[in-house]
Copies of this chain bind each other. A is one copy, B any other.
């Protein structure tokens, strides 16, 4: 319908459309007085440049794509709101694409890429580690930023937190409360994050001069059930741990559930800590002590890098995590 176009603005400001374009794109060679006049016209008319026209004519598409998979993870919302806020401020828009794993992955990406020109792509786990996707992107020369990748760290810029340090800090938190026998539930062996978290736990224990008994460390796979199974073994130990640190929140809830069943009160008889600060930390009592990743911020920065260009530097950009201490951790009963 009769939308207002650049022509209307030009007419109102009594300049050519090119000058309007210059002002809007912050190009040089515009007299301040003219600039003000144009801006006033834009404001008066409530003009917003048509995004399709810009994309067609210019070199930028004003569009950032967000690639994700099966959107069950709770962080998808955080990712989106982070990316969105940057985009909005920059006049960009966010296109979401679901990249399913399977034979068609590569074709999906290529179809998307050739149909709509985007200025960059944000990759979220687990797509962040999908080789075919990186390949397709590289071939087309489409810039991308990866969020929390686990592999191929040489393939383009990415954002991450120091998982090992976070696990170290959480373990130190438990140690500082007075715990000595601290159990650990490992994550899924395929995830590099699982390895790093385990290693952080070990380092903190060693630093405190505590020798980790092999029976204190149980395997897990990031699921509630695996956490529960691990807890059953840990809490059956003759000299059972006074605290259990699970590599993610779901498993920590599994631990709490078993503790309840065994009539151990959390945190009086057992402290429990998780990792991720997912929404499930709110559906237990006491609420779960955990580590929060700055997911939203990561996404915002990723968009930033794509829109304004990444200042050169190391490929990986480290962001701060946050220890969230809630009711599930406390000094051990004897303390």
Chain A residues with CB under 8 Å of chain B are: 1, 3-4, 46-53, 55-56, 61, 70-74, 76-78, 80-81, 84-85, 88, 91, 93-98, 110-112, 114-117, 140-141, 224-225, 228, 250, 253-254, 257, 260-261, 263, 279-280, 282-285
Contacts and interface: CB of A to CB of B under 8 A. Distances in A.
Given A50-B115, A52-B117, A94-B95, A283 B254 contact: yes
A97 B280 CA distance: 25
Nearest to A223: B282
Contacts of A78: 71
A56 B50 contact: yes
A116 B96 contact: no
A96 B94 contact: yes
Contacts of A116: 50-52, 93
A46 B98 contact: no
A70 B74 contact: no
A115 B51 contact: yes
A69 to B, nearest CB: 9
Contact of A115 (B77, B93, B253): B93
B285 A228 contact: yes
Given A70-B77, A250-B283, 16 more contacts: A47-B114, A50-B56, A51-B115, A51-B117, A52-B53, A71-B78, A72-B279, A80-B96, A80-B98, A84-B97, A93-B112, A224-B285, A261-B285, A263-B263, A280-B283, A283-B283
B84 A98 contact: yes
Contacts of A257: 260, 284-285
Copies of this chain: 2
B77 A81 contact: no
A77 B76 contact: yes
A3 B116 CA distance: 11
Given A70-B81, A260-B260, A283-B280, A46 B114 contact: yes
A48 B260 CA distance: 57
Contact of A61 (B52, B110, B254, B284): B52
A72 B61 contact: no
Nearest to A261: B260
Contact of A114 (B3, B85, B95, B254): B3
A263 B94 CA distance: 49
A243 B305 CA distance: 54
Contacts of A282: 224, 250
A84 B247 CA distance: 32
A74 B115 contact: no
Nearest to A47: B114
Contact of A56 (B52, B93, B97, B110): B52
A74 B261 contact: no
